[in-house]
Structures are given as C-alpha cells and as structure tokens.
Copies of this chain bind each other. A is one copy, B any other.
Amino acid sequence: MKSRIETDGYGRKKVIDACMEPCAIERGMRIIGGKWTGSLIYHLKDGPVRFNDLNRMLGGATKKMIDQRLKELEARGMVLRTVINDRPIAVTYELTELGRSAMDILEDLRLWSEKYDIR
C-alpha cells in the first residue's frame, strides 16, 4: 500500500503511487473473504469437524460450496483433510497453524458485526 495523494490548490488530487495490483487487503480478502470461507474457518476453531457436520453448521451454503472452499483452503495449507475411516467413509477437516492464524481477524470481525448489528 504505497499509494499517496497530493492535492493542488483547487482540491484536485493526484495519485502519486497507485497500487497497480491487488494490495495486501485485497489479497487477504480473496482468501478469507470468499463467500462462506470465513464461516468455514470459524466453525473449525474447536477442532476437527466432519464434512456433513460443516454442511449442517453453515445453513445456507451448499455441499458444492463447502467442498470447493475446503479444497481451496486445503490447497493453501490452511486446512487439513484426514480420512479417518473408509467403508463407511469418514473424513474430518481441521485448521492448520496457518488456518488458525486467521482466527484473530475473524474474531474481531464477529465482534464488529455484533457490535454494529450488521445485517
């Protein structure tokens, strides 16, 4: 975020150093701000959860969405997928250290949302 602005005598401003590609905020949001991603991470905060339980916990998200988000997070090393049993298949998802590192942001977001009654 290097961009600066200078103002001339007429109140006109000039951008001195625009950020030409997604800045840190934007890059972060693309990860934890994807639809359902934040909720997903947040619901994993207390330890491993199984796929269908996540699905039930996030009323409103489809299995496809959950699946896709979990795969994204796994690919980024934020979530760990473990097959705990095949036949009957059973899988759990849990946060890695990196995944857990986002919890503070999400907790702040939750508090903010509740404080200002965001709907």
Residues of A within 8 A of B (CB): 1, 3, 5, 11-15, 18-29, 31-39, 42-43, 46, 49-50, 53, 56-60, 84-85, 90, 92, 98, 101-102, 104-106, 108-110, 112-116, 118-119
29 contacts between A and B (CB under 8 A): A1-B42, A5-B46, A5-B49, A11-B85, A11-B90, A12-B50, A13-B50, A21-B60, A23-B42, A24-B113, A25-B109, A25-B113, A26-B38, A27-B118, A28-B38, A28-B109, A28-B113, A28-B118, A29-B33, A29-B39, A29-B109, A31-B118, A32-B33, A33-B34, A101-B115, A101-B116, A104-B108, A105-B109, A105-B112
Rounded to whole angstroms, the CA-CA distance of A33 and B109 in the bound complex is: 10
Q: Which of B53, B110, B114 contacts A14 (CB 8 A)?
A: B53
